[in-house]
Structure 1
């Protein structure tokens, strides 16, 4: 009988759903995996794409997780100041085999004090904020530092999921999962990082996101460290 592997994703308002659903889809197929969508309560949670996702378990009812994963999104700005969320992450991290994140979810781990002295990936627009929490930002799709595994921005969550699947079930299983999901990226444009996109497109995107970034930054810098 396969020993259950409890894999929990933090769900919160204004989460970027692909940060969560990308790796969740991969990891749900790992032999023995029991996936959990965890939030304070059981009511639907609105994502930044404006549709809702139903939690499967509350903080109070959540079992000890083998894998704790924190996705990102603009909602992270509120979560870094939420004592109930931070306490949940700290409690679960104590017993987890892997403490992980995707995108700027790394900042939420940082705010909980779980990244001090660790290398971490993060979305390029948020990466430098990791310094505030004593982490070393790394511009890579997936970063492994001891039992901390992090994915970069949004779509890197799929690469992260396959990397973690290999850790949990072996490389052959991860390869079969990649084939099963026909994960063979061939994007129509080669502009997925600031270096590739160029300064003009990068500046335009930053300008579009400026107001949200400023609001989130104010909250990030108000977190005691």
Structure 2
């Protein structure tokens, strides 16, 4: 799954998401010359790498950290993103002191409201949460289910975040249609939980189909530490 994700990300299909997060953090950190960022549930490090590059491109020093429960993912992240620091850890037990980060990002990962509130500086620390919009990968899901369920906006624990001391700011929707090669379509399937439920005929269909089209529909919601 991690290797499939690395290949899919390397093809650039999710760059639009990473670039949007980076752009938001550049704007949110206006006036700061140094920004410490944590990617909680960083996987193989793609989003953190893009964010660090965006902040450095804006003339800021960026101290980048990533944690994930997968040892394989952390090894891959550390080998590629040598300017960042990585650790095998859960988002619910972060190995950091209080108020050490200007920003935390969490993309398709568990949202540990209390821990994020603890490690973000206050006031003003920024949290960006990325989660699926209702049409995300709907074409792929339609191959697997007769009546695929749409994602809903209650995918993140907004109430928990508010009670932990966050203020909800803005939500940006990132939506586009992807046209995938056979290899990329199989990697997309392999990097999602759908892979474990996919019958062999679906895998064969993706293998034979050239130019598989599917929708990327992501919501990025920003919160500020009050």
Q: TM-score range by the shorter chain?
A: 0.3 to 0.5
Query: Please, what TM-score do these two structures have when normalized by structure 2?
Result: 0.39
Which of the two has greater strand per residue?
2
Higher Cα Rg, which structure: 2
Higher relative CO (Cα under 8 Å, sequence separation at least 6) belongs to 2
Query: Please, what TM-score do these two structures have when normalized by structure 1?
Result: 0.39
